[in-house]
Structure 1
Amino acid sequence: MNKLQRNLVLISRLIVGLVFIYSGFVKGVDPLGSTYKFTDYFNAFHISWATGLAFGLGILLSTAEFVIGVAILLNLKPKLGTLGALLLMAVFTPLTFILALTNPVHDCGCFGDALILTNWQTFWKNIVIDIPIVYLFFIRKRLANQLSGYEQWAGMTFASAFILLLSWYSVKHLPLLDFRPYKIGTYIPDGMAFPENAPADEWKSIFIYSKDGKEQEFGLNNLPDSTWSFVDSRHILVKKGYEPPIHDFTITNRDGEDFTDQLLSSSGYNVVAVYYNLEKADLKNQDQINQWADYCTANGMPFYALTASTDVAIEKFKNQSGPGFEFYATDEITLKTIIRANPGVLIIKDGTIVDKWNANDLPKIEELHPNLMHQSLLKYKKQADKYYIYTLILAGSLFIAIYLLIRMKWKPLPQNND
């Protein structure tokens, strides 16, 4: 392998490896987001019976992408790594072409919420990535590695364990990285605002009229005379305008009255419990949530619950769990975006998200500070100390990975490592 070929191999491995690692990581850090995206696709294609597979498929896809990316980047088991990448792209390249043509779900979800791409952007991204993948696959037998087979399997096992543990942590608690528009510190009204001179949606209106038993379509500028009878109309989105990051945050009480402005304009602390679906909620920590509600009420802090469930489900829940708070209605997708937990709890002050927890991590009442802002700052100080240690561990792992990458040589293999 000459110098040009070695450089092509290195560039190809860097491109494919980093893209796969990034894609697998952002899915692995938010496995529920991947679950919701698979569910959206199943519903769009009218195979809702498969929604039970969504969580497992999300974990499988993030793990496969991450491990394949590590394998290609570090040249671990090159035959297996390149084959895995080729098989994934053989499935997803034609699939994303179909999605681009039909557009059943506007956001492909290939990079989770970290990087939003349209279906056409995703398709062309896949076409570009296919080129180095095919190249690496055809020269896979010439990719030498100084590590033994056991060492290569150990590296891939470590990558698998890392991404699986990351996914487990994110489901059990909350994602370590929050790429959504409702992250802690977000001032919600800012996320809902339209910039000055922001482009609006462009629509095309088609009107259907009939005359003498014959129907005909007309545009807004060439409507027929009064001898025609109106039948129907339809409106087609020609060009999507600006859409603010938070565009669907609406809260109503059970009488249908809007409650959004009252919550966002409140000057004090507002504690909000989120149950996107009461029938699917994990209620093992419900007693603690009820204690929080009692504590907040006793200390003059409003406590609300948001759900997309029906009134029947709400009444059933109240009879079973006896919560001392009222429920308000919010769109289910919005609730899933606000917090990756069912249930979860967040604190809003002056329209800003101060903190949020999975119900599994909700502080005990006796641990609460009267100033909830102080409570949150103390929490993040402790987390910062832990993340410092994690950063050192990851930095050490990255150093080892770079060392192994530099140590490897690309030459004909003396023996089959696979």
Structure 2
Amino acid sequence: MKYLRLIARILIGIVFVFSGFVKAVDPLGFTYKFGDYFTAFRLGFLDFLSLPLGIALPAMELALGVLLILGYRRRFMYWLLFAFMAFFSLLTLVLALFNPVHDCGCFGDAVVLSNWQTFLKNVLLMLPTLFLFLGRHREEEHGHAGAEWLISIFLFFGLCLFSVWNLRHIPVLDFRPYDLGTLIEEDMRVPEGAPVDRYETTLVYRNRESGKEESFGLDDYPRDTLAWTFVSSDSKLIEKGYEAPIHDFALVNDDGEDQVDQILADEDYSLLMLAYDLHHSNPEFLRKANDWAGLELLADDFRFYAVTATVGNEAAELAAELGLAYDFYAADEIMLKTIVRSNPGFMLIKNGVIVGKWAGRDFPSLLSIDPSLPEQIENATVPMDQDSQLLEEAGVWDDFSFATMKFDRYAQQILAEENAADAERRLVLLCLLGGLVLVLIARIFAPLHL
């Protein structure tokens, strides 16, 4: 039996490590999921807990998985494991039955499961969990209690710091469809012959003579309008069709025109500043974009788009209040949250390919790229004198255009710095994994007790 217990806790530990890790690298994504839960269960007053839970729960899950594998404080860990699995098994059963939230988020964006698949996964995990929990009295604690508790505490808080680091920057690993190198148009395309959504439609009619209501399908509903009166209809999705990885990418201007085709067809650079909620955006980062918006006057291979889900009038009022020198395009809030885990964040596109992504705090100011550019932009925005106006009216003003530079050379510098930041993120990940490996190695050299 001891070998079965060893296999059970290692298997459960591996699942918990994976589940906790993919959420720890994207704490803001898991925070959004908690917000969905609180909204679905009408617990909006608890929304302030979304971020702390989005950081602490994955850290606890990952730490529990590691500690199960190591075999530390087994009796306590089995109690914690049983409580964890019992709560989430009940929660996922409710989700499967009533579907208030379509995706539980148990594996983040790395592996998306339906609610019934998630419940089945929890049922399967509950079997070895019960096996360990019911046999906990037969477990012997061999390690030094103080050392094991100290390692457990340091592990938990270290993983919390890892999540906070990912929160302040962009996730060290990106499991979403808008990753670097993505050709957006290709991921928006639906393959020919791909299955489509199938719906079952029910039509309700009332018999004029008896007053009784009956349900019909699309093939057998009554055509006799003298005998039957239409009451209502309901369509239920019975089979989900193919959904393109990117299916909601849309940027709309004030005239209601979608700008996506224009952006994807542009062979030059398009810089998108994405702020899903201007009310909670850092004003410093929003003002930083002023110079980038003005760069359009100097570079003929550069376009700037500010995008938000904040309602148009509110966006205009906030822009005036903060002194923002650009207008906003409208987009869906969920789409903006999916593209970049920052408010605001920045995304650079060239030839329809995502070549750069930054959190607001990591995106460089134009002054740091070239100290002379802000002054050049200011000169370009000075009102034209009388002679210049005459030249413009004569149709020769274009010969004196301020667009005298190429953004490409600055883009290479910015992307080089982004590559350095990406190397830093990989180093953080390696340090985390290295720390876990050291703990495992220390356990290997300790006496192995099954």
1:249 paired with 2:288, answer no
Q: What is the alpha-carbon distance in structure 1 between the residues aligned to residue 36 and residue 330 of structure 2?
A: 21
Contact kept in structure 1, 2:25 and 2:173, CA below 8 Å: yes
Query: Alpha carbons of 1:171 and 1:290: their partners in 2 closer, same or farther (altered >3 Å)?
Result: same
Q: What is the alpha-carbon distance in structure 1 between the residues aligned to residue 257 and residue 427 of structure 2?
A: 48
Q: What is the alpha-carbon distance in structure 1 between the residues aligned to residue 165 and residue 233 of structure 2?
A: 50
Match of 1:10 in 2: 6
SS at match of 1:315: helix
If the length of structure 1 is used for normalisation, what is the TM-score?
Answer: 0.91
Query: Alpha carbons of 1:93 and 1:401: their partners in 2 closer, same or farther (altered >3 Å)?
Result: same
Q: What is the alpha-carbon distance in structure 2 between the residues aligned to residue 57 and residue 392 of structure 1?
A: 25
SS at match of 2:361: helix
Match of 1:205 in 2: 201
Mapping 1:9-408, distance limit 5 Å = 9-144=5-140, 146-212=142-208, 213-226=211-224, 227=226, 228-300=228-300, 301-368=302-369, 370-371=407-408, 373-383=411-421, 385-386=423-424, 389-390=427-428, 393-394=431-432, 396-406=434-444, 407-408=446-447
Q: What is the alpha-carbon distance in structure 2 between the residues aligned to residue 149 and residue 30 of structure 1?
A: 33
Identity %: 40
Contact kept in structure 1, 2:16 and 2:65, CA below 8 Å: yes
The more displaced of 361-370 and 267-276 is 361-370
Q: What is the alpha-carbon distance in structure 2 between the residues aligned to residue 264 and residue 205 of structure 1?
A: 37
Match of 1:414 in 2: none
Q: Which amino acid aligns with 2:217?
A: G
Q: Which runs of 5+ in 1 are unaligned?
A: 412-418
Shift of 1:146: 4.5
Contact kept in structure 1, 2:272 and 2:305, CA below 8 Å: yes
SS at match of 2:172: coil
Contact kept in structure 1, 2:55 and 2:164, CA below 8 Å: no
Shift of 1:380: 4.7
Contact kept in structure 1, 2:29 and 2:108, CA below 8 Å: yes
Query: Alpha carbons of 1:200 and 1:408: their partners in 2 closer, same or farther (altered >3 Å)?
Result: farther
Shift of 1:93: 0.5
Contact kept in structure 2, 1:25 and 1:163, CA below 8 Å: no
SS at match of 1:34: helix
Q: Which amino acid aligns with 1:336?
A: K
Q: What is the alpha-carbon distance in structure 1 between the residues aligned to residue 181 and residue 367 of structure 2?
A: 25
Q: What is the alpha-carbon distance in structure 2 between the residues aligned to residue 393 and residue 276 of structure 1?
A: 32
Q: Which structure 1 residue ranges, 4+ long, deviate > 4 Å from structure 2?
A: 387-392
Query: Alpha carbons of 1:391 and 1:64: their partners in 2 closer, same or farther (altered >3 Å)?
Result: closer
Query: Alpha carbons of 1:136 and 1:172: their partners in 2 closer, same or farther (altered >3 Å)?
Result: same
Match of 2:448 in 1: 409
Q: What is the alpha-carbon distance in structure 2 between the residues aligned to residue 48 and residue 396 of structure 1?
A: 39
Aligned length: 407
After superposition, give the CA deviation of every residue in 1:32-52 in whole Å (9 maximum; x if it has no partner): 111111111222222222222
Calculate the aligned-residue CA RMSD, in Å. Answer: 2.1
Contact kept in structure 1, 2:14 and 2:69, CA below 8 Å: yes
Query: Alpha carbons of 1:249 and 1:221: their partners in 2 closer, same or farther (altered >3 Å)?
Result: same
Q: Which runs of 5+ in 2 are unaligned?
A: 371-406
Shift of 1:11: 1.0
Contact kept in structure 1, 2:172 and 2:426, CA below 8 Å: no
Task: Tell me which structure has the larger Cα radius of gyration.
Answer: 2
Match of 1:415 in 2: none
Q: What is the alpha-carbon distance in structure 1 between the residues aligned to residue 155 and residue 355 of structure 2?
A: 34
Contact kept in structure 1, 2:206 and 2:214, CA below 8 Å: yes
Shift of 1:211: 3.2
